[in-house]
Amino acid sequence: MKIIRLLIFLYCLSLSFHLTAQSNFQHAFEECQIKGSTTIYDYQNKRWIYSDSLDAQKETLPASTFKIINLLIALETKVISDENQVIKWVGKTDTTLYGYRPEIYHDMSVKEAFEVSAGWVFIELAKKIGRKNYLKYLKACHYGNADLSEKGVDFWNFGKFVISPKNQITFLRDVYEEKLPFSKRNYEILKKVMITEQTPDYTIRSKTGWTRDGGIDSGWWVGYLEKNNNTYFFATRIAKKRSEVNPDFGQCRKTITRKILKQINAIN
């Protein structure tokens, strides 16, 4: 009987701590005046950390975070030889037609396209990869729901192909451990391209994402932070109605994530 009481006490204690942690993490979202969640996986301690454990399992479009697996698939299927391959701009640099970020519409290496999130480059790669190859690798990697019923080429920005923050992290963890059906060389290329910040204390490999489907702005920042003694995987997703004005929406993805990483002492 005493053992049962002890177990109940420990469960309640852990639940209380979990709920308190989630409540504390919400301050970062409140300061940004945005709704969303941050999910973190502490690799060394095999511990999940949530700002909202329910939202961590909700599936939405991956947007440009899909470029992570997209790059691996493009390399593995030999659609591109390496990250430095240049993709020719297929249209016209007419700012009246391409008013949104006109600076990205020119011949561009895949590496640069990943870094500046030039969606048109990956759309051109997708045309060559084909749905059959996508289904093969998405299922093998347990990435998202593998619903490619969207007729448009960029099914990661529109349609029913969705993934949860927790799934984003399990995929990234498999990439980190190199457990998926990709070559060692292709993992090395991806991990090099994903570097977005390096300091003497840590390295961040990551990708942002932002789509505007169904009247909703949905923004992501996913990746992992490597330190000497640990690795922290993260997936932050925020959302708002397109009619709501928030000039900090894009930056909030990273601001929120960094604040929570600081709260758990992953970074100073």
Provide the annotated active-site residues.
64
89 DSSP 8-state letter: P
Number of CB atoms found within 10 A of residue 187's CB: 17
Question: Bridge partners of 221?
Answer: 208, 236
Interior CA angle at 115 toward 113 and 119, to 5°?
A: 40
User: Distance (Å, rounded) from C-alpha 203 to C-alpha 137?
Assistant: 27
Q: Is 157 exposed, middle or buried (0-12, 13-18, 19+ CB in 10 A)?
A: buried
The number of residues making up the chain comes to 268
166's CB contacts (< 8 A; 6+ apart) are: 39, 48, 56, 57, 235
Cα 33 to Cα 58, 179, 202, 246, 248, distances in angstroms: 21, 38, 29, 8, 9
